[in-house]
């Protein structure tokens, strides 16, 4: 059974933890004094307290909602409108059933925003010597993206929202098709060049042109292709159903057609060379406690700096002593005191 601590002992531990956190947050040097957290302002760890110890401290804080209430990717996504236009299922009342996408899109977007904010704040500090507090709400990240993609304006200007149309590409032409061997592919035509490439590669150019004439739409426009999407898809569905994935790949590769196969995680890892050590993004790494597998590094290539080798993910606490001694300059005795208190491990 874990030993229970008295109120006095808990207060002492909290004081040590706060002191340690402040020391880490306000560590000297040009690379120190930067804090990223999703915790609410705690006594001694708020911006004013940290700034009192280091004038140029940078504090980045992520909240759920702007008012400080809790939210996570799934609850934010539920409010975004996207689950009701994902898929094409309808409920008993005719309304769309929500499909909450498994990709944590808002967490990813928030992480990228915060990384950009950190670089911006650090560059401001390098130029002016000033620190600052930067806050972001996960729900605001969602709202910004929904607005930037035009969905807020669509409702205000047109008074409607896009429908749930399955895998069709909203506003242009794109749909998934079954192949003769049970695979599925997606074919997209965003531009007139891509549209004409589909006709040439499949040999359906004349028949596709007839659809435009019969429906009195201009298939060189996205609006025209969207309006005629069902008729276009009917022709392409028959063409794909007569060919295997390998045959379609052979026809489309190098043709200018915008397309791609659907694949599950196993197929991605097993069959796609982009997800292997053939791609400089990946390297075979031994991860302690897990095993050896291809691990991605940074998906950016800088001409001024060679790609750094991918390293195993650090184990929890692996660098604790190094940070305490090299960054904070604590003695072995002070580090031992933190260990005895259960604060450092």
pLDDT digits (tens, 9 = 90+) for 288-302: 989 999 999 999 999
Say if CB 23 and CB 328 are below 8 A apart. Answer: yes
Q: Which residue has the higher pLDDT, 257 or 20?
A: 257
Q: Over 70: is that where the pLDDT of 232 sits?
A: yes
pTM summary value: 0.84
Instruction: Over range 74-88, report the average pLDDT.
Output: 91
Say if CB 22 and CB 45 are below 8 A apart. Answer: yes
- pLDDT score for 135: 96
List C-alpha distances in Å: 238 to 56, 160, 185, 202, 233.
65, 34, 13, 11, 9
To the nearest whole percent, how much of the chain has pLDDT over 90?
69
Q: Over 70: is that where the pLDDT of 168 sits?
A: yes
Task: Write b or e for each residue in 68-95: b if 16 or more Cβ atoms lie within 10 A of its Cβ, otherwise e.
Answer: eeebebebbbeebbbbbbbbeeeeeeee
List C-alpha distances in Å: 163 to 74, 95, 123, 147, 157.
21, 10, 43, 17, 16
- pLDDT score for 6: 52
Q: What is the DSSP string of 42-89?
A: PTT-SHHHHHHH-TT-EEEEEESSTTS----HHHHHHHSSGGGTSS--
Q: Over 70: is that where the pLDDT of 4 sits?
A: no
| Least confident span in 63-77, 235-249, 325-339 | 325-339
> 106-128: per-residue pLDDT in tens?
999 999 999 999 999 999 999 99
Instruction: Over range 76-102, report the average pLDDT.
Output: 81
Q: Over 60: is that where the pLDDT of 5 sits?
A: no
List C-alpha distances in Å: 155 to 62, 79, 113, 146, 170.
29, 15, 26, 11, 15
> What confidence category does residue 103 fall into, taking pLDDT thresholds of 50, 70 and 90?
very high
- pLDDT score for 2: 43
Q: Over 60: is that where the pLDDT of 13 sits?
A: no
Extract the tokens encoding 44: 């001694």
Bridge partners for 177 per DSSP: 185
For the CA atoms of the chain, what is the radius of gyration? Answer: 27
Class of domain 26-162: alpha beta
To the nearest whole percent, how much of the chain has pLDDT over 70?
92
Instruction: Over range 205-222, report the average pLDDT.
Output: 96
107 is catalytic: yes
Q: Which residue has the higher pLDDT, 316 or 345?
A: 316
Instruction: Over range 130-157, report the average pLDDT.
Output: 96
Q: Give the total residue count for the chain.
A: 345
> What confidence category does residue 324 fall into, taking pLDDT thresholds of 50, 70 and 90?
confident
| Least confident span in 152-161, 187-196, 223-232, 249-258 | 152-161
Q: Over 50: is that where the pLDDT of 1 sits?
A: no
Q: Which residue has the higher pLDDT, 275 or 15?
A: 275
Residue 167, number of CB atoms within 10 A of its CB = 14
Strands 282-287 and 291-296: antiparallel
Instruction: Over range 251-269, report the average pLDDT.
Output: 97
Bridge partners for 260 per DSSP: 186
Instruction: Over range 145-166, report the average pLDDT.
Output: 91
The structural domains of the chain, with segments of one domain joined by +, span 26-162, 173-262, 320-345
What is the signed CA dihedral for 328, 334, 335, 341, rounded to 10 degrees? -120
Looking at mean pLDDT, say which of 24-33, 245-254, 316-325 comes out highest. Answer: 245-254
Q: Over 60: is that where the pLDDT of 286 sits?
A: yes
Catalytic, out of 46, 107, 218, 220: 107
What is 173-262's CATH number, 3.30.750.200, 3.30.1540.10, 3.40.50.970, 3.40.50.300? 3.30.1540.10
């Amino acid at each position: 059974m874990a030993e229970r601590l008295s109120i006095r002992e808990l207060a002492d531990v909290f004081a040590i933890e706060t002191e340690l956190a402040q020391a880490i947050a306000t560590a000297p040097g040009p690379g120190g004094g930067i804090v990223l957290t999703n915790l609410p302002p705690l006594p001694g760890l708020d911006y004013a307290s940290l700034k009192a110890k280091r004038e140029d401290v940078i504090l980045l804080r992520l909240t759920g909602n702007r008012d400080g209430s809790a939210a996570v990717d799934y609850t934010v996504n539920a409010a975004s409108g996207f689950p009701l236009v994902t898929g094409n299922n309808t409920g008993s009342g005719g309304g769309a059933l929500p499909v909450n996408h498994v990709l944590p899109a808002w967490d990813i977007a928030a992480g990228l925003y915060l990384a950009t904010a950190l670089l911006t704040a650090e560059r401001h500090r390098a130029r002016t010597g000033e620190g600052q507090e930067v806050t972001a709400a996960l729900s605001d990240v969602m709202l910004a993206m929904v607005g930037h993609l035009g969905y807020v304006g669509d409702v205000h200007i047109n008074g409607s929202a896009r429908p749930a149309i399955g895998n069709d590409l909203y506003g242009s032409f794109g749909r998934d098709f079954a192949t003769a061997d049970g695979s599925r592919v997606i074919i997209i035509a965003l531009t007139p060049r891509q549209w004409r490439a589909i006709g040439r590669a499949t040999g359906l150019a004349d028949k596709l042109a007839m659809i435009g004439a019969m429906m009195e739409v201009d298939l060189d426009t996205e609006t025209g292709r969207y309006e005629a999407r069902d008729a276009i898809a009917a022709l392409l569905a028959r063409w794909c159903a007569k060919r295997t994935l390998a045959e379609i790949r052979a026809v489309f590769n190098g043709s200018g057609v915008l397309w791609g196969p659907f694949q599950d995680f196993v197929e991605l890892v097993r069959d796609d060379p982009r997800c292997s050590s053939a791609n400089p993004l990946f390297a075979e790494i031994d991860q302690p406690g897990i095993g050896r597998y291809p691990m991605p590094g940074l998906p950016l290539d800088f001409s001024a700096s060679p790609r750094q080798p991918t390293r195993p993910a650090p184990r929890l606490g692996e660098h604790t002593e190094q940070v305490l001694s090299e960054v904070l300059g604590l003695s072995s005795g002070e580090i031992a005191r933190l260990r005895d208190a259960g604060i450092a491990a």
